[in-house]
Amino acid sequence: MVHILKNLKKGIINENPVFILLLGLCPTLAVSTSIDNAFGMTAAVMFVLISANIIVSLIRGVTPDRVRIPVFIVIIATLVTIVDLTMKAFIPELSKSLGIFIPLIVVNCIILGRAEAFASKNTLADSVADALGMGIGFGIAITIISFFRQLLGTGEITIFGTHVFSAPGLFDNPMSVFILPMGAFLVLGCLLATLRYMGAIESG
């Protein structure tokens, strides 16, 4: 039990995939233009990550070492395609705004990374805990980034059509640079610098 909690916590804090391992930056930077996108992306990544970890962990005893990476990739690609088709069928709007980045979860290194580094060596329960932790960690990171990008870039925060608040002044003159790709790098850079300055990330 202690084990499982530790694995869960690890992904969220000590080994946060985005802020500390710096994995999966491509979707993080590309789709973090709004909180809606961040939630959608997190849900998709979570599903793929947990399912992949479960399957990989279950077959870890029988997978021949020589073909383990192709096997993992096939499993991940299958799961991603399932997510992609399901999203297209049931939530076409979100699927459209996430666009190419849903199929690209296949090459998201968090997922293959966890399958190879953790699930293929650990028990089912530990692997699920690890996937949950990593998924939540990813979700927190991408949500923080998209919060700043949406706030600065559009001047207001809207979550699934519900208007939360709009920043006075910013709303009339939003800094559209933060919606553009450049803004993603700026926000991520500033966040990493702040975290490091506060000592959350050990330097070196």
Partner 1 sequence: MAEETVDQKRLVVSTSPHIHDKKNTKKVMYVVCLALLLPIIGGVYFFGIYTLLVVLVSVITAITTEFLAKRLRKREFIMDGSAIVTGMLFALVLPPRIPLWAVIIGAAFCIAIVKEAFGGLGHNIFNPALAGRAFITVSFAGLMTSWIAPVKSVISLDSITSATPLGEGFSYAGSTSDLYIDLLFGNVGGCIGETSALFILIGGLLLLATGVIKWRIPVVYIGTVFLLAWLIPGQDPVFHILAGGLFLGAFFMATDYVTCPMTAKGQFIFAFGAGVLVILIRVYGSMPEGVAFSILLMNAFTPLIDRHVKPKPYGYIPPEKKSRFPLKKKAKTTDVADKPDQDSSTDKKEGKK
Partner 2 sequence: MSKTNFRADIVPILFLTVVVCISVIALAYVDSITYEKIETAKLEAFKEKLSVHFSDMTDFTSNDANDCYVVFTDNNTIGYAVKTIGSGYGGTIEMLVALEPTNLSSTDDLILRGLSVISHSETPGLGDKITQSFFLDQFQEVSFSGIELSKTGGDIDAISGATISSKAVINGIVSSIEDRFDSLVELVSSVEVS
Where does this chain bind partner 2 (CB under 8 A)? 62-64, 66-67, 70-71, 74-75, 77-78, 81-82, 85-86, 88-90, 92, 153, 174, 176, 179-180
| Closest separation in Å from C-beta 75 to partner 2 | 7
User: Which of partner 2, partner 1, none interacts with 204 (beta carbon under 5 to 8 A by kind)?
Assistant: none
Partner interacting with residue 125 (select from partner 1, partner 2, none; CB below 5-8 Å by kind): none
| Shortest Cβ 184–partner 2 spacing (Å) | 14
CA 122, 124, 130, 135 torsion-angle sign: positive
CA distance 114 to 120: 8
130-169 residues in contact with partner 1 (CB under 8 A) are 169
Q: Which of residues 8-27 bind partner 1 (CB under 8 A)?
A: none
Q: d(Cα 62, Cα 49) in Å, to the nearest integer? A: 20
Place of tokens 């993603």: 184
Residue 166 backbone dihedrals phi, psi, to 5 degrees: -125, 140
In contact, 18 and 138? CB cutoff 8 Å: yes
Question: Does residue 203 touch partner 1 according to CB under 8 A?
Answer: no
64 binds, among partner 2, partner 1, none (CB under 5 to 8 A by kind): partner 2
Helix, strand or coil for residue 158? strand
Beta bridge partners of 91: none
Binding residues (CB under 8 A) for partner 1: these are 169, 173, 175-178, 180, 182, 186, 189, 193, 197
